[in-house]
Chain A
Amino acid sequence: MGKYSEDPLWADIEPLPTDEGGPNPLAAIAYSEEYEETMSYMRAVMAANEYSDRVLELTEDLIDMNPAHYTVWLYRAKTLFHLDKDLREELEWLNETALEHQKNYQIWHHRNLIVDRLDDCEGETEFVEQMFVKDAKNYHVWSYRQWLVKRFGLWETEELEFTERMLREDVRNNSAWNHRWYIVNGREAEGVKGEWDEGLRKRELDFAKNAVGKTPQNQSPWNYLRAIVRTAGVPLASLKEFAEQYASLDRPDSVRSSFALDLLADIFAEEEGGKDKAGKALDLLAAKYDPIRKNYWAYRKSQLGLESSTPEAVVAA
């Protein structure tokens, strides 16, 4: 006998035990009695389309045992809305659960549904930031944060400062770079054209260049720089002087960043008569600075119509 079968509150429900499909199910889970019983009652209430307080308790029990149970989460949300429950209370309960199950996806989708319905995001950005203390790259949490920004129009508030804070903590956190890009460009989808005037461009270029200065072999700000010039419609060559601080064909022995060399190769390729120089940069990457990607560098040469060279030849030159 278990918690539910002994409870008079549940006496009217005929539990639906697990159908294993046959006598020898594959990868059958030896459920604990508690889990099996709770799921049996869950199946029964779902089959009866029951939305009630006792269903909320049941879902809470199940989520506690299996937080990845998407069916139970979705049914809980339906029940809460059906009963017109106090969603603030739900958020409080969620806060505890989220901290226990950091990487769980369902919890964030559920939070999304609740906060959307509440139509109020008070305290949300603070809570999200708290989540980042433990895992600053949690994909679901960053996705949720983006949703908050869009849903509640937080573009102009403190999001930019927030990304700066996160990147001060870890300048290699690519999720934070992605969020920054979203804050600067995300409104395009809503018809607000990203205003890439000179001021904004300079601000963002300086921000990324400063990060490169600290960590030249950090791919995130290099990706960001390339994206700015492409989106703002500025020639790639505008980054040449900057890239040459970290890689130069004149000083092939003291390249400080493979990403700078890669960028230079693209810049040379766009220059008139620059193909050979581009080829040299790509050879240098293949032979010395990034040999794990030697096939890719050779492919890039072939795109320029250049023959591939042997590593020996490059080193000798």
Chain B
Amino acid sequence: MAITDSAADDTLDELLRNKARIIELPDDNNEDEVTGVPFPGNHLRKNGIHHLPQWLQQTTIGLFHDDYNTVSSEALDKTAAECLPHLTGQDNQGIPLNRHGLPHLQRKQHASFLHTPLKGLPAPYAAMDASRPWLFYWCTAGLSFLREDVSMYRERLMETVRPLQNKIGGFGGGHGQLSHCACTYATLLALATVGGLDVIDREAMWHWLGTVKQADGGFRMAIGAEEDIRGAYCAMTAITLLNLPLELPPDSPTREAGLTHFTDRLGEWISTCQSYEGGISSAPNHEVHGAYAFCALACLCILGPPHITIPKYLDVDRLIRCLTTLQTNPEGGFAGRTNKLVDACYSHWVGGCWALLEAAVVGPHEAKQNGSVSSAESRLWNREALVRYLLTCCQQPGPKGGMRDKPSARPDGYHTCYSLSGLSAAQNQYTYNTTASTTDRETGRLLSAFNWKGERASEGDMKGLSVERNDVVELVHPVFVIRFEAVEEARRKFARGGFPVVEGTD
């Protein structure tokens, strides 16, 4: 959730979320011999379901239930209880099943859900007035992940964001609002998705980014705002997609501290965000959080090839261990922090880390050995479990569609977009081409982030994941989180770098 600031998890939740709607378990969970305490899932034994994967079988679910209850364990148990009927196929919410017995991806409904906010929003959405660019991104990108045509939004989006762009560069959340890294990132990706990048003043953007770069190597989210790892990822995304010069602008205050480039001290700063648990925090010493792991890894994958920059700046073994444990048992989705609850948005924030980490671990060595590094067997994580969680628990049934954090939550654009990109991460294969060049000789542009290849789920992959072709989401770029075509367009469009000469300035 972190990257969206307070937008998605706070404001929307507080304002728009219903009281929790917990799905009751059937009243037969009194068989508590296994652990001695009532535990969700005990009822499943009676039904003799054997086709379930091992982590959903009663023998596994009943393990390790500590008797010592606290607020955390009660919340974890309650979440398992609301998810299990869906995970085990007892309650499919009326969603049609595919031939493997999992609910189909409700493509049409989710597409319609994502089109709706773009038409206009009622007054209570004033609470999102500072994060409206996120809606542009979640909706247009989410639609494109479903292979919906979004080109009809091009002109309107370009018009809409014009007052959000400030003369000093960058985009704010709305007209008259300060430029902000998150708003800039979201606007940029939405524009790339619909093909509207021409509206961006690249030179002003370059100057503005020079004002948020910090002497310690990181980036502030806005002038006078907090410095955290989202800023680093958002800023480097803009610099690379738009092919802005890596040199700091002459007016950048950071030059006084001896820095000359946006990349100066950046990898080192990211290193300081790896915590004692092995995961990544928003800034040094804060708690490990899944969303920040993605920001750190994606930023390192902009700086260079994954197998070089990731191990250079992070302890990979400890990071993998930490992220692995965030895949929750029995739900199969990801939590954002140790001992916290599963939430569909981390399907992207943590689920999206694996392609980057697998490429870091594999490197050029095995690629050579096997010809290709992609294999139907996932190497580090459980793709099948994530797909099951998203399809069974996170789809809002009914004609309005949309995807949600967990069954008791309401769907929203944020969770729909990141559920879809998480699905794509689980279903498709992403590999890094270790032989491609990493820097453009002419312009100095960092090219590593453009060296990714996506491969659609094969028949074998689909069978292993219990999905049909129709349930598979489009390829999503593992670093920029938009369609590959949109990334390619930005790469091509700004290949020449530099800034246009404005008439009369000579």
Q: Which residue of B has the minimal Cβ distance to A25?
A: B160
Q: Given A27-B121, A293-B381, 18 other A-B contacts at CB below 8 A?
A: A21-B159, A27-B118, A27-B139, A43-B175, A46-B176, A67-B11, A68-B11, A70-B180, A71-B178, A105-B5, A174-B340, A177-B338, A178-B286, A220-B339, A288-B60, A289-B64, A291-B53, A296-B380
Q: Give the interface SS of chain B, mostly helix, strand, loop or mixed.
A: loop
**Interface size range of chain A in the complex:** 35 or more
Q: Once the chains bind, are A105 and B160 in contact (CB under 8 Å)? A: no
**Cβ of A148 < 8 Å from any Cβ of B?**
no
Interface residues as binary, B172-210 with A (CB distance below 8 Å gives 1, 0 otherwise):
111111101000000000000000000000000000000
Nearest Cβ on chain B to A291's Cβ, whole angstroms? 4
Query: How many angstroms from the CA of A224 to the CA of B68 in the assembled complex?
Result: 19
Interface residues as binary, A256-269 with B (CB distance below 8 Å gives 1, 0 otherwise):
11100000000000
Within 8 A of B (CB), among A112-158: 136-137, 139, 142-143, 146
**Cβ of B63 < 8 Å from any Cβ of A?**
yes
A29, A109, A218: most-surrounded residue (chain B CB, <10 A)? A29
**Cβ of A173 < 8 Å from any Cβ of B?**
yes
Query: How many angstroms from the CA of A16 to the CA of B289 in the assembled complex?
Result: 40
Q: Give the interface SS of chain A, mostly helix, strand, loop or mixed.
A: helix
Q: Which residue of B has the minimal Cβ distance to A19?
A: B163
Candidates B128, B156, B175; contact of A24 at CB < 8 Å: B156
Query: How many angstroms from the CA of A16 to the CA of B159 in the assembled complex?
Result: 18
Q: Once the chains bind, are B126 and A174 in contact (CB under 8 Å)? A: no
Q: Once the chains bind, are B163 and A170 in contact (CB under 8 Å)? A: no
**Cβ of B437 < 8 Å from any Cβ of A?**
no
Query: How many angstroms from the CA of A101 to the CA of B15 in the assembled complex?
Result: 11
Q: Which residue of B has the minimal Cβ distance to A228?
A: B276
Q: Once the chains bind, are A143 and B136 in contact (CB under 8 Å)? A: no
Which of A6-14, A83-91, A179-187, A270-278 touches B?
A179-187
**Cβ of B14 < 8 Å from any Cβ of A?**
yes
A66, A136, A186, A256: most-surrounded residue (chain B CB, <10 A)? A66
**Cβ of A162 < 8 Å from any Cβ of B?**
no
Q: A288 contacts which chain B residues (CB < 8 A)?
A: 60
Q: Once the chains bind, are A172 and B73 in contact (CB under 8 Å)? A: yes
Q: Which residue of B has the minimal Cβ distance to A107?
A: B6
Nearest Cβ on chain A to B189's Cβ, whole angstroms? 14
Within 8 A of A (CB), among B377-407: 377-382, 385
Q: A143 contacts which chain B residues (CB < 8 A)?
A: 282-283, 286
**Cβ of B501 < 8 Å from any Cβ of A?**
no
Q: Once the chains bind, are B178 and A106 in contact (CB under 8 Å)? A: no
- Do A146 and B71 contact each other (CB < 8 Å), given the known contacts A24-B156, A74-B222, A218-B66? no
A137, A171, A258, A293: most-surrounded residue (chain B CB, <10 A)? A293
Q: B135 contacts which chain A residues (CB < 8 A)?
A: 27
Candidates B6, B160, B330; contact of A20 at CB < 8 Å: B160
Q: Once the chains bind, are B72 and A170 in contact (CB under 8 Å)? A: yes
Q: Once the chains bind, are B123 and A71 in contact (CB under 8 Å)? A: no
**Cβ of B468 < 8 Å from any Cβ of A?**
no
Which of B36-44, B321-329, B417-425, B446-454 touches A?
B321-329
